Chain A
């Protein structure tokens, strides 16, 4: 998927800082679809996702002078959106990346995940989407960053403010938790 190049984002940001409103609106146009996929997966609700996006873009505009030229724009924007989500959902669904399970060394390797169950693909996708929606917010966030926003581990690390290895571990834990929930549901359906 072709995305706005980093140099194009830098040029738009430079113009926006000088007061070019159209330049910042161009950034909104370029990055909102990807940001919506990320926030939408975390929020699970269009209205809430839009509210988060509104606030995120507002904060991004206010924080624009502090964005370092040359650094990737989308991870910075994603970080703002995650902070907005955390602030909004503080009471109902805390978004906390500091406590996502056992220590790093104790997490089993993802290669232990078995082959795809024999299900129609569509049904599998629906089940998986429901499973993701039921995950704790922090797990939903790492899955959304990786698979909805299609961010690299380095970009995810920048958005989350965590080391790359920690991000890999969080994602592995998220998938393991997801697999566990799906198996529990299967066991429940089988009676």
Chain B
């Protein structure tokens, strides 16, 4: 139910909108969009460089790769699978330690090459998933 205060409140004096406000808002948004675009491009360039360095590192150690990459036998693979099914948490907890031990047994350059490739692949995949999620949100 309206009263005298409703009527007055609806008619309160207010400061006029500052001149050029909308233009300033739009300009700031344009700057923010450009900044975000440059950050994305810089990020992707950095990833490409990391992947490239990793690939170069691997290539220069190609002849040493044989015997480095662990190729399990069928029996070992089945054994691992059974352990994973029986105690998934234990297997998961042991994986980082195994990875660190394996990396430690390799040369620094090779380890770095693998690390660069892994990091660039991880962030590249994350970026791809983020883009796909945004697109699916647009559709809904």
Across the interface, A179 reaches (CB within 8 A) one of B5, B17, B32, B140, namely: B5
Tell me the chain A residues, 137-151 only, with Cβ under 8 Å from chain B. 143, 146-148
Task: Decide if A107 is an interface residue (CB 8 Å cutoff).
Answer: no
The answer to whether B137 has its CB under 8 Å from any CB of chain A is yes
Within A62-76, which residues are at the interface with B (CB < 8 Å)? Answer: 65-66, 68-69
Contact of B21 among A21, A36, A66, A116 (CB under 8 A): A36
- Determine which of A28, A37, A121, A128 lies in contact with B9 in the assembled complex, contact meaning CB atoms within 8 Å: A128
Asked whether B66 is an interface residue with its Cβ less than 8 Å from the other chain, the reply is: no
Tell me whether A37 and B137 are in contact (CB under 8 A): no
Number of A-B contacts (CB under 8 A): 90
Set of chain B residues within 8 Å of A129, measured between Cβ atoms: 12-13
**Can you list, as one digit per residue, whether each of A14-49 has a CB less than 8 Å from chain B (1) or not (0)?**
100110010011001100110011001100001000
Among A51-59, A77-85, A87-95, A96-104, the stretch in contact with B: A51-59
Chain B nearest Cβ from A133, distance in angstroms = 10
Minimum distance in angstroms from A166 CB to a CB of chain B: 19
**Are the CB atoms of A50 and B138 closer together than 8 Å?**
no
Q: Which one of B23-31, B54-62, B116-124 is at the interface?
A: B23-31
> Min CB distance, A114 to chain B, in Å?
8
Q: B32–A61 contact, CB under 8 A?
A: yes
Report whether A113 and B17 are in contact in the complex, using a CB–CB cutoff of 8 Å. no
- Known interface pairs A24-B29, A58-B29; A40-B15 also in contact (CB < 8 Å): yes
The docked-state distance in angstroms from the alpha carbon of A148 to that of B29 is: 25
CB <8 Å contact, B10 and A125: no
Residues of A within 8 A of B14 (CB): 37, 40-41, 148
Q: How far is the CA of A189 from the CA of B24 in the complex (A)?
A: 43
Q: List chain A residues, Cβ under 8 A from B1.
A: 110-111
A115 and B12 CA atoms in complex are apart in Å by: 18
- In whole angstroms, how far apart are the Cα atoms of A110 and B15 in the complex? 28
Instruction: Check if A25 sits within 8 Å of B26, measured CB to CB.
Output: yes
Q: Which residues of B contact A32 (CB under 8 A)?
A: 17, 21-22, 25
Complex interface: chain A residues within 8 A of B134 (CB): 65
- Nearest to B31 among chain A residues (CB) is A58
Q: Are B17 and A116 in contact (CB under 8 A)?
A: no
Q: Tell which of A37, A46, A69, A148 touches B18, judged by Cβ atoms closer than 8 Å.
A: A46
| A residues adjacent to B (C-beta < 8 A) | 14, 17-18, 21, 24-25, 28-29, 32-33, 36-37, 40-41, 46, 50, 53-54, 57-58, 61, 65-66, 68-69, 110-111, 113, 115-116, 121, 124-126, 128-129, 132, 143, 146-148, 175, 178-179
